[in-house]
A and B are shown apart, each in its own frame.
Chain A
């Protein structure tokens, strides 16, 4: 049993985009010379990830993932399901908090050229300060969960050899 080709394509596309996004995010907040360039990529990329997260959630409802291997201990099953829902939650939460944060700052939310997003919360700098902090905490959480997800995937591929890793990569014969 594997994920559909569309599901796999979405997974790997988003994996690349989200990792790029996290690295841009952390590089951006320490950079001077590249700050503006990185912010200019960070914003539209965040909007794209939010859009793709919605596509992915809908796709998941129509194409449920293959079941986990029989005989997998309950603890690992719970960890697998739990971490996947945390990943989904963060894929939505991070861009939405980013969007709300810029709205609370009263900043224009420019994507490309004159294309911009509307504000989703009122202008309130105290709210901005909180959301800005939440954005950072969520970003570190997402990176940590991705590392756990990566470690678990490699465990399935190299140690358990139970077909879970292959279900998201190439179709096995």
Chain B
């Protein structure tokens, strides 16, 4: 079996995944650096390190190479894709998120990916190929950056925002589309003494509404799954389910934030094994 890798250099985070056949043997999610080359190298180093650790604990995987030279083929994606030094080819994040989501949920037909400054809704056909997609063109208010800004204002970690929706009694309403003005609204609510969880729930709802507008444009079909870091926010997911009127399949096979990098690695695997060869 050959080792393949996928590297997704995004605007906020960079991800790397190393795969051996159908198994992820190493992965990493790091904060993106100023230069995409640095981000890619740092993410890959960390992924290689995690592969080495996994190999040390799991004897059957000890054969897995843990140096860059032993990776037979790798694919890059994300904004910095053209600057990743060690890859063999690039693919768009649309294709990679579609491919990665398909690998995690084989029955998926609609992928909603929320990245750092991008929000995408991707429709896949029966074969798992991209049939149609739409991305946010107007502004970046329905993206991960929006949640980051809001979490900073509330002085909580971004991972803490999600569960606030479940605890909220009367979520606030955020009318402003602009992230900066929504931030001003949040500050106003804080100054007026509103509960943190009510504000957090309002933030999650505002986010979900923006994403729903995009998703509805391409008419979602089941199964639906969410990828990207925001998929880990249970508040956004729950509100989105309500608005779309569909359940969103929970991804358990891997961290949904890794979807783009996984998709890239799967493309690398397919390339190595020929288009007609084994499909993961």
Verify that A and B bind, or say they do not.
no
